Structure 1
Amino acid sequence: MLDMKVTTDVLRIMLACAAFLPFSACARSGAGEPIIQIEQGRIQGEREGALNVFKNIPFAAPPVGDLRWQAPQPAAVWEGIRDASSFGPSCVQPALPATSLYYDPPIEASEDCLSLNIWAPADAKNAPVIVWIHGGSLRIGGAAEPLYDGSELARRGVVLVSVNYRLGPLGWLAHPELSAESPNGVSGNYGLLDQIAALEWVRDNIAEFGGDTENVTIMGESAGALSTTYLMTSPLAEGLFHKVIAQSTGIRAKPELSQPAYGMPSAETIGAMVAAAIGAEDLEALRAVDAQKITDVATKAGFVSQGTIDGLALPTQLIEAFDEGRQAKTPLLAGFNSGEARAYRALLPPVPESAAAYEAAIRRGYGDLADDFLKVYPSSDMEESMLATLRDAIFGWSVERIVDKQTQSGQPAFMYIFDHCYPAARERDLCAFHANELPFVFGKVGDVSAIPPNWPVPKGDKEAALSSAMMDYWVSFAATGTPQSAGGAQWRPYSEDQSYILFGEEPVADHDPVPGMYEMHEEFVRRRREAGQQWFISVGINAVPLCEDKADCPD
């Protein structure tokens, strides 16, 4: 009888509330579990302390059947109240080896995955909004990963939204027949279009959760940071966000839709090769193949999930967009980790037998830039120099470049390097590895249940203090465009003498992040671009000789 009376009382309170107030106000009234009215219908989430939490809200229709490899379509409406208390499935993805550092398989995966999750203060009103875009090479991961739980950030006053988007060949495959059936004559970039659809949903609905539609920050790490950089250069995302946080982004060349570029075949050619590997003679046959089989076969065939320069969603190469000032003019916070490449040792060539051999290889590959290179990456510790070279070729130069270009555009831009090492990481020679900042940014230090199973777990008072400071910086940047922490160093914009914050034992303000690195790589990349060559990981002792005359360049 007691349970029935409580249930009846809660229902009566909710009905009375709804008779006089919008559902968003009822959700913040303390009357039972929160119920919100959005464009598609009513949803019921859960109250977690001072937060309202909603999960598995569809922002687009399931991309299945004829909607596979189509731009996202509007989500269906529903009658009654939809349960929003449990995460939905992640998008279809390949399995990682159980020994991988990044092994963290989703509980469930499906093509019906275009959903988002929201953590909001129960009393939120015009609160800043952060839209989190997960990483994973655009082929793995999902918004339901425990590491991305938004509770701690929301407790600091933001509305945190995490989104799923299509992965692997289901999200990033271009193909001649797909281009032919498209009203815009393009294909690929479906995962990016999903992210844009999620941002449109946020624009149209987030006020019901107490979020400010005029103060939206997009935030991502690795492939998620790359996605924020795509969004900065996409006309289709214009006006959908107001600030950017990019943790370990990259700006290497991407395939163009129908023409080879920078030594890569066209995206349509790549897609046709994938279809052939699957054994599908045409688009109809390809759409009939099981989604997991498509993903697995494409992965084995070497398909790389990446954006396509299609003239529409991505009009031009990222590097060109920033050079020409076409990127979104928003405040930017961006950085990378000092030990990024410690997670990518398989990409390193063998260490040369001697310092002389190392220096000779650098002089062959870099010519008149060799002395500048060796100042940054000396032969005195070849392995560390090789790790740093790979780190900067992928992340370091990319981050400093977009911060510099955003500064030149007149926008406040803030740079960081995450350099913190803790005992468990030091024991495995994984200090500040790729993505290692995430437990600190999401407030998961010491939370073993939230950390991927093969990661060294950060824990301790120093780690907790650093995490608190980083969350303060991130949240204040989302709120005001200026990162601040009461107990941390003043974070000056990059415009002030190439200023940045070093997150080591504690936040320390400094300038000129890696002396000589940005300038040397900038000139190296300039020459590669002029020669029509890729500038990604053919670097260091792997670099082919530079040349000024394209006709004399090796293929």
Structure 2
Amino acid sequence: MMAGLAALILAAPVSAHDAPVVQAPAGSVRGEALDGVAAFRGIPYAEAPTGRMRWRAPVTAAGWDGVRDASRFGPACHQPPSRPGSIYAPAETPAMSEDCLSLNVWTPENAENAPVFVWIHGGSLTGGSGSEVMYDGARMAAEGVVVVTINYRLGVLGYLAHPDLSAESTDGVSGNYGLLDQIEALRWINRNIAAFGGDPGNVTIAGESAGALSVMYLMAAPQAHGLFHKAVAQSAYMISTPALRETVHGTPSAEDAGVALSRQLEVRGLARLRAMDPQALTVGAAMSGFLPLGNVDGHVLPAQPVEAFERGEAASVPILAGFNEGEIRSLRFLLPPQPASAEAYEAAIRAAYGDLADDMLARYPSGNLDEAMLATTRDAMYGWTAERLVRSQTAQGQPSFLYYFDHSYPAADEAGLHAFHASEIPYVFSGGERTPPYWPAIPETDVESGLSDAMLSYWVSFARDAVPSAEGQPEWRPYGEDRAYMAFDQTPVPGAHLMPGMFELVEEVVCRRRAQGDLPWHWNVGVASPPLPAAAECR
């Protein structure tokens, strides 16, 4: 009945004084009428504890009386400035607040029981927001999907763990606040999305980069299970995850990292940390090298994500996952210094990889050192993760689909950014009409619009019924059939067994490091790799 009421309201003629209104359980909201779509922005889904209450789980947002204005985005969560020269930087610094837990909804006219697509923004768990220009949901909503983008706490405000914080928690844990925000957003969606015409029983969580890392965290977090029914992970990275109270895989405990940060900032005690200006604290933590990550606390995250997936403990849902050919071209800060010569490169690989050195040099040869190093880090972080995700979900009997984005265009190629990290996002969302100001400009051609139409259709149909399909385009077969995948170049091209041998080589490296237990397994690879442990039994 509520979904039908919302549809009637949205279908009514609109004017400057007659904007669309939805009566949701949380309260009534007035949005903006677009072309066949209504947008509702800045809706609070939770309250972030601030000041003396900072670093606690989110509190369910109180309802409101009257009709709330939902025509403008809410403030972004506190974050440091973008890297100088970053193509990902926004046109201007967004308004920021600790009270930042809001979401945005785009819904088609007359929507009822429509699939729901929840987008979790990237940004290394340090930056970004659900209001970024690339994530405008109007075009996808016009295809019959209710699109939701969310804000969640970032950086030190979202992921600080500390013994004193754990001591005051009823669960005896700390950190993971940004992840708890995401779970609370999914709970809000479960209670309210029907009023916007969405089906709470058909929710897809999706994200890119740190958003895809968050998708994996949510799949591994029991509290989130049942709140979503499909997952999309674009350029996810299944790195080793710190534990709350012990050193694992060469990474100090999350609590120790919190204590170390307090010392670096020369601010002792929670009361003083909570009294700090949130932006000064955020910038200071970033400059001190604080790396925000989820932590294995036995409560929110019971196990390493890699273990949750291989033991079948992650959410058993269909998945669509993939990565880009040029991931590292725009992330060169992840690369170690390049050796002076091919001979030095080969010597470093042989010293580090021992019995696997020949395999490494065959896959990442010294003929072009730049390309070899780009591919080594790309595969270790993104390629291996994508294939491991679809393999894990296939083993659970779930439809699983792998993609490889290898498309570029003149402006990107001229900048040395062929198929760079996140370059697939505009093709899924806006067709290239909405990108950050420093992004290589996507030309208005039939090739670009055709590829975008195809990718949008594949993503929408996956959100609708777990089968990615596009009219007039090739069938996208599940991974389990001959390790099938879809390549996106000028057009979608189906294939089988992507990069033969890549997954097995990286899996062997990861297996050995996991078995030894005192090494991370992600970007310390190639010429930056410590000596590889001896062979070990793997699952």
Structure 2 length-normalised TM: 0.95
1:516 is matched with which residue: 488, 496, 501?
A: 501
Cα distance in structure 1, aligned partners of 2:215 and 2:236: 8
**Which whole-Å deviations, capped at 9, do the CAs of 1:4-43 have from their partners, x for residues lacking one?**
xxxxxxxxxxxxxx9xx84553233336321111223211
**How far is the alpha carbon of 1:107 from its aligned partner?**
2.5
Determine the structure 2 residue equivalent to 1:328. Answer: 315
1:51 equivalenced with 2:34 (yes/no): no
Partner of 2:524: 538
User: Which runs of structure 2 are paired with 1:297-316 in the superposition (5 Å)?
Assistant: 297-316=284-303
Instruction: Give the equivalent residue in structure 1 for 2:82.
Output: 96
Runs of 5+ consecutive residues of structure 2 not aligned to the other structure: none
Preserved contact between residue 106 and residue 145 of structure 1 (Cα < 8 Å)? no
Counterpart among 474, 479, 487 of residue 489 in structure 1 = 474
2:402 counterpart of 1:419: no
CA shift for structure 1 position 160:
0.1
Match of 1:27 in 2: 10
Offset of residue 110 of structure 1: 0.8
Q: Does 1:263 align with 2:250?
A: yes
Distance, in Å, in 1 between the alignment partners of 2:83 and 2:201 is 42
For residue 500 of structure 1, what is the aligned residue in structure 2? Answer: 485
Matches within 5 A, 1:195-274: 195-274=182-261
1:455 correspondence with 2:439: yes
- Conserved? CA contact 2:477–2:485, under 8 Å: yes
Q: Say whether 1:158 aligns with 2:145.
A: yes
- Measured after TM superposition, the shift of residue 287 of structure 1 is 0.8
Instruction: Please state whether the residue corresponding to 1:529 is helix, strand or coil.
Output: helix
Q: Confirm or deny: 8 A CA contact 2:213 2:237 kept in the other structure.
A: yes
3-state SS in 1 of match to 2:322: strand
In the TM superposition, residue 353 of structure 1 has moved relative to its aligned partner by 3.5
Quote the Cα distance in structure 2 between the aligned partners of 1:159 and 1:408: 30
Indicate the RMSD between aligned Cα atoms, in angstroms: 1.6
Match of 2:28 among 38, 42, 60: 42
Code of the aligned partner of 1:221: E
Residue-by-residue CA offset, 1:337-361 (whole Å, 9 max, x unaligned) = 0000101223323333333332222
Q: What residue ranges of structure 1 are gaps of 5+ in the alignment?
A: 1-17, 551-555
Q: How does 1:396-407 map to 2 (within 5 A)?
A: 396-407=383-394
Deviates more, 1:56-65 or 1:408-417: 56-65
Show CA shifts across 1:363-407 (max 9, x none).
111111112222221222221111000101111111111111111
> How far, CA to CA, are the matches of 2:535 and 2:497 in structure 1?
32
Q: Which amino acid in structure 1 is aligned with residue 447 of structure 2?
A: K
CA distance in 2, matches of 1:78, 1:469: 41
Q: Does the CA-based 8 Å contact 2:80-2:127 persist in structure 1?
A: yes
- 1:290-369 correspondence to structure 2 within 5 Å: 290-369=277-356
d(CA) in 2 for partners of 1:484 and 1:549?
Answer: 42
Q: Distance in 2 between matches of 1:281 and 1:320?
A: 36
> What secondary structure sits across from 1:379 in the alignment?
coil
3-state DSSP class of the match of 2:23?
strand
Look up the equivalent residue of 1:317 and give its one-letter code.
Q
Q: Which residue in the other structure is 1:68 paired with?
A: 54
CA distance in 2, matches of 1:305, 1:394: 17
Query: How many residues get paired?
Result: 529
Q: Which moved more, 1:374-383 or 1:223-232?
A: 374-383
Pair 1:98–1:370, CA change in 2 (3 A):
closer
**Residues 37 and 208, structure 1, Cα contact 8 Å, conserved in 2:** yes
Shift of 1:158: 0.2
Task: Give the 3-state SS of the residue equivalent to 2:46 in structure 1.
Answer: coil
Matched, 1:527 2:512: yes
| Whole-angstrom CA distance in 2 between matches of 1:350 and 1:201 | 46
1:517 aligned partner, one-letter code: M
* Structure number, greater radius of gyration: 1
Secondary structure class of the residue paired with 1:287: helix
**55-64 or 342-351, which deviates more:** 342-351
1:90 aligns to what SS in structure 2?
A: coil
Partner of 1:466: 451
What amino acid is aligned across from residue 62 of structure 2 in structure 1?
Answer: A
- The runs of 4+ residues in structure 1 deviating greater than 6 Å are none
Query: What whole-Å deviation, never above 9, does each CA across 1:313-339 have from its counterpart, x for those lacking one?
Result: 111111111111111110000000000
Q: Give the CA deviation at 1:266.
A: 0.6
Paired residue for 1:288, among 275, 280, 296? 275
Contact 2:117 2:203 in 1 (8 A): yes
Q: In the aligned structure 1, how far is the partner of 2:71 from the partner of 2:130?
A: 14
Q: Is the 8 A contact 1:34 1:47 kept in 2?
A: yes
2:323·2:403 contact (CA, 8 Å) conserved in 1?
Answer: yes
Q: CA deviation at 1:157?
A: 0.6
Q: State the one-letter code of the partner of 2:24.
A: I
Deviation at 1:106, TM superposition (A): 4.1
Which position in structure 2 is the counterpart of 1:168?
Answer: 155
Query: Between the two proteins, what is the percent identity of the paired residues?
Result: 52
Find the residue that maps to 1:91 and give its secondary structure: coil
Instruction: Tell me whether 48-57 or 102-111 shows the greater mean CA deviation.
Output: 102-111
Point out the more displaced range, 46-55 or 101-110.
101-110
The residue that corresponds to 2:377 in the other structure is 390
How far did residue 54 of structure 1 move? 0.4
How far apart in 1 are the matches of 2:123 and 2:346? 35
1:169–1:298 CA contact under 8 A, matched in 2? yes
Between the aligned partners of 1:282 and 1:249, the Cα distance in structure 2 is 35
The alpha-carbon deviation at position 288 of structure 1 amounts to 0.8
Q: Tell which deviates more after alignment, 370-379 or 426-435.
A: 370-379
Distance 1:80 1:415, change over 3 A: same
1:333·1:414 contact (CA, 8 Å) conserved in 2?
yes
Aligned-partner residue type, residue 497 of structure 1: D
Contact 2:55 2:158 in 1 (8 A): yes
Instruction: Report deviation, 1:97.
Output: 3.7
Residue aligned with 1:296, SS = helix
Does the residue aligned with 1:259 lie in a helix, a strand or coil? coil
The question of 1:478 aligning with 2:468 is answered no
Partner of 1:11: none
Contact 2:24–2:196, Cα closer than 8 Å, also in 1: no
Amino acid at match of 1:256: A
In 1, distance between residues paired with 2:344 and 2:8? Answer: 70
Structure 1: distance between partners of 2:52 and 2:472: 54
Question: Could you tell me the TM-score, scaled by structure 1's length?
Answer: 0.93
Are the structure 2 counterparts of residues 516 and 206 from structure 1 closer, same or farther at C-alpha, using a change threshold of 3 Å? same
